[in-house]
Structure 1
Amino acid sequence: MRPLARVATDTPLERRMSPTTPTSIQLRAGGLRLEVVTAGAAVRRLVLLDGEDETDVVLGFDDVALYGSGRDYLGATIGRYGNRLAGARFTLDGVQHRLSANENGNTLHGGAEGFDRRDWTVVEQDEGHVTFALRSPEGDQGFPGTLDVTVTYSVEPGVVRLDYLATTDADTVVSLTNHTYFNLDAESSGPVDAHRLTVSADAFTPVDAGLIPTGEIRDVSGTPFDLRRPTTIGELLAREDEQLAHAQGLDHNFIVDGVGLRHVATLHGTSGRTLEVRSDQPGVQVYTGAHFDGTVVGTSGTAYGPRAGIALETQAFPDAPNHPGFPSAVLRAGDRYESTTVWRLGRE
């Protein structure tokens, strides 16, 4: 992990939103090209080269100016806290912190002005990697502590690696993730219903109708959430289940087996392309993109409909600060938050 870059403290928060067209950066390795943008430190394209054929396997905005707009989280770095915090609040060491509410009275993906809306600073770059940095000041969206964050994208042939690092000057909570949507048959190819998905999880965290975890840890056995063997997404979503109805598909946290950098999930496209996700985080949010309604136009000019892509968001558990039985997401002053996620692309 590269050392944390310091970000100037005299830059007002409102100036670090994304008021101008984001800068695009291209990383290359072997038959892989990754495009990332400064707004939201977001992934815009992940292009696989096969002879003269090029296939973009992630969803991205056709108009690069939409990055940083707060729309859809496409490819963005999410923070301070990925996923949902119930009632836009949490209590830490007996002190309640009220947060920015941006979804039905809850905090989603860091609040109304989350990290996906920020203009990140490039602090290091070459053809194979780029490091973005951001300072989130004390009280940002209601979170305590000044948080300094970096995310580094690195590429090797067939591999994209994401390394996160954060430090704080006061105790706080942190869960950083990436919100890329994958479609291994090409971002313009329509629903991912025929993709097959495997997740290394014996349990998941059920949600209520507002998609807030109930606090239960439920065994996947005998449920549509048993993805321990390759399962076709469309067949899974066709099953009758209250949890699927709550989310109009999958929008759930799976409890990843084991600890350390390990297998999280494998996605298989009908094209024969595969994506293996590895991470050191305790959970992964699997979201099948029910909200896409044709109003988002992708990099190929294609309008994205429901299930145009699937997100595999490695993370701390949603709403963990409000559930003592969940793994802690607390970052203490003087400690370092470090996390790694790896995307390995190949063929069956």
Structure 2
Amino acid sequence: MAHRRPFGELDDGRAVHAHVLGDGNGLRAEVLDLGGILARLEFPGERGPVALVLGLPDARAYFADPAYLGIVVGRFGNRIGGAAFTVDGQACRVSANEGRNHLHGGHLGFGRRLWRVAAHDPGRLELRYHSPDGEEGYPGNLDMRAVYSLHGARLRLELEAECDAPTPFNPTHHPYWNLAGDPAVPAAAQWLQAPTRGFLPVDGELIPLGQVAAAAGTPFDFRAARTLEAAAASGHPQLEVAGGYDHCLVLEEGATTCATLYSPHSGIALRIDCDAPALQLYDGHGLDRQHPGLGRGLCLEPQGYPDAPNRPQFPDAILRPGTRFRRVIEYRFANAGRGCAWDAVEAALAQA
């Protein structure tokens, strides 16, 4: 089996490749050297391989993609209000690529850059990217390392970085999940459980207002598994502000599992393990306009708090020289069976 295949060229002629992980008998991934994009992920279901993430056909489609499908996000995931912040008394402006605000690292960020392949075999892909001082307006040189690896029914993503000047840093991963493997099945029909103790209300530009609101009794409470359809049915002003779900869920302190997702249509279940303090939940409602016919997927992005450089009450998000950032996101899969009870989902994942 080939472990690398051409995936098209960018407009300037640079070639992009898809790097294959897996032997074809279990979990199988294809990761691009463009943006570290998880372009394809399949897991055996009751009726054959199930496509778990939304994807696009070639490199040019990903480069032009406004929805950030599958990318490794950096330097700063989510939004920075006003595309400006102050670090140690120094005012900085970064690129404004969502109105007057900064989103997911800017115009190109990390997701539209070619990364260097440092190592690749059927079980592991190591990508590296050097972000120079001033890129997208960020201070300091930053060296980024992303390692994808397969371990049975688990896909592991390790993110590491070092810098030579204080800089905001909040990397995350941005796949769109529809475990049904069928774009005709609504992504909101998946069951979601997450250890949410609160969420961050946002303004009309999706910038956090600054406080953590209690999740209990709201559509943002996923401590007990339910579908997004059921959660949203009760209504909430914040769902109207954002046009649906596009909110940062604040997780219980010490939680190591960010979310569990299950499709009763395919029987596939996913558990996301990470020690990040928060999880951005986006229901993909913008895809209807951005990629008609693609369907929707749920983004579940482990991360720090959005707009943290401007919010001293939020956990610090400044990476400093001499400090190595490290975050591990592990995706664990199981075929729990179609239409099964939630305790069977948890049991299947525990054994995966």
Q: Report whether the alignment pairs 1:282 with 2:277.
A: yes
Which stretch of structure 1 is more off in the superposition, 139-148 or 247-256? 247-256
Query: Which aligned pairs between 1:48-127 and structure 2 lie closer than 5 A?
Result: 48-50=43-45, 53-127=48-122
Equivalent pairs counted in the alignment come to 325
**Equivalence for 1:314:** 302
**Equivalence for 2:261:** 267
Please tell me the residue identity of whatever aligns with 1:125: H
1-structure distance, mates of 2:78, 2:71: 13
Deviations 1:72-129 (A, max 9, x none): 1110011000000000011111111001000020000011121111011100111101
Query: Which aligned pairs between 1:1-348 and structure 2 lie closer than 5 A?
Result: 19-28=13-22, 31-50=26-45, 53-259=48-254, 262-270=256-264, 271-293=266-288, 296=291, 303-305=293-295, 308-346=296-334, 347=336, 348=345
Residue pair 1:190, 1:304 contacting (<8 A) in 2 also: no
Residue pair 1:70, 1:116 contacting (<8 A) in 2 also: no
Residue pair 2:45, 2:267 contacting (<8 A) in 1 also: no
1-structure distance, mates of 2:69, 2:58: 12
Relative to the length of structure 2, the TM-score reads 0.88
Residue pair 1:18, 1:119 contacting (<8 A) in 2 also: no
Q: 1:140 to 1:64 in 2, by over 3 A?
A: closer
Aligned sequence identity (%): 38
Please tell me the residue identity of whatever aligns with 2:20: Q
2-structure distance, mates of 1:101, 1:211: 14
Q: 1:250 to 1:25 in 2, by over 3 A?
A: same
Deviation at 1:189, TM superposition (A): 3.6
Please tell me the residue identity of whatever aligns with 1:304: L
Residue pair 1:31, 1:50 contacting (<8 A) in 2 also: no
5+ residue gaps, structure 2? 1-9, 337-344, 346-352
2-structure distance, mates of 1:185, 1:130: 27
Residue pair 2:11, 2:60 contacting (<8 A) in 1 also: no
Deviation at 1:295, TM superposition (A): 5.2
Deviation at 1:33, TM superposition (A): 0.3
1-structure distance, mates of 2:65, 2:43: 28
Root-mean-square deviation (CA), in Å? Answer: 1.8
2-structure distance, mates of 1:238, 1:19: 48
Q: 1:185 to 1:204 in 2, by over 3 A?
A: same
Deviation at 1:66, TM superposition (A): 1.7
**Equivalence for 1:9:** none
Q: 1:327 to 1:136 in 2, by over 3 A?
A: same
